[in-house]
Structure 1
Amino acid sequence: MIAVARLATAIGLAGLVPFIFGALAIILWPAAEALCVKLFYIYSAGVLAFMAGVYWPIALQLEQRCFPLSPIWTLVISQLFFLTAGLALLLPLAAQTVVYPLAYLILYIVDVRWMRLYWPGWYRRLRMVLTLVACLCQILAAVWLLAAPAVSA
């Protein structure tokens, strides 16, 4: 299990690199701001959809083990976050700057409330760090974008 924890931690932390560099690129590379914004939010959508996908195998386990959590609601929640991730890309930039960090925080709250039983302690701590850094990067980018002149993203 230690090998899995280490690998998952390494992969999770590596997944923060595009958030960190994306937010910095939006701020520090004005010539490519529009491209950086698009890539940043496409990556945000992809990660949110990926994280929502965690609920599918959990729903299957819930159904097989007769846990009190509803497998139907687990799948519905997964789909709501997946759809939010993809459809938010169609929204104006100002809306995206709010939707993505909010969706990440809500998904984390749902994760903590519903999935305490299924994840080891190291993963819950890792998710907290990953969510915090991803949201801070999104908020930093949002503050910059909303304070700066209009970007055509």
Structure 2
Amino acid sequence: MIAVQRLAMLVGLAGLIPFLIGAFGLFLMPAHDAWLIKWFYIYSAGILAFMSGVYWPVAMQLENRCYPLSPVVTLVISQVLFLAGGLTLLLPMGWRAVIYPVLYLAVCLIDVRWLYNYWPRWYRKLRTGLTAVVVACQLMVLAWMVMN
């Protein structure tokens, strides 16, 4: 296993910890639900901004283009996802609970469907697994808000 692959896996898995703490924390520490939910969505927006920011340098590649997406489309996707993640923080909690899982699924879909040949197989597998956990955490927070 190459060093970059190990580091990406380690950082990816470590990045799940705040999602897991936020989602499970609601059920383990219900008295702190207000700040847990606020913190959870701020972290969600930050990670989404990071993930969408990856598409900017991908679009700039001259030798290893991001086909089938054009570089312009890839840049637009980067900016739309970044803005959607940030602006969603301004919406009521109920909207956040619906929009963030969709945005995370969109990022994963872009990676595994349209940038399939760009990313190595291990990365696509990692992204799919990480996205599954993140979306599950997002849905747990949604469930908490519906029940309370």
- Residue 135 of structure 1 corresponds to 135
TM superposition score normalised by structure 1: 0.91
- Residue 39 of structure 1 corresponds to 39
Displacement, 1:66?
A: 8.1
What is the distance in 1 between the residues matched to 2:75 and 2:3? 29
Pick from 52, 62, 65 the counterpart of residue 63 of structure 2.
Answer: 65
What is the distance in 2 between the residues matched to 1:99 and 1:71? 26
Give the letter for the 2:47 counterpart.
V
Displacement, 1:27?
A: 2.0
Judge conservation of contact 2:23–2:138 (CA < 8 Å) in 1. Answer: yes
Classify the secondary structure of the residue corresponding to 1:117: coil
Judge conservation of contact 2:20–2:137 (CA < 8 Å) in 1. Answer: yes
Alignment of 1:119-130 (within 5 A): 119-130=119-130
- In structure 2, runs of 5+ residues without a counterpart are none
- 2:41 is equivalent to residue 75 of structure 1: no
1:58-93 per-position Cα deviation (integer Å, ceiling 9, x unaligned): 1001xx238453111100000010001100001011
What is the distance in 1 between the residues matched to 2:120 and 2:64? 20
- 2:4 is equivalent to residue 4 of structure 1: yes
What is the distance in 2 between the residues matched to 1:126 and 1:9? 7
- Residue 100 of structure 1 corresponds to 100
Judge conservation of contact 2:64–2:118 (CA < 8 Å) in 1. Answer: no
What is the distance in 2 between the residues matched to 1:102 and 1:147? 21
Judge conservation of contact 1:27–1:141 (CA < 8 Å) in 2. Answer: no
Residues paired across the two proteins, number: 146
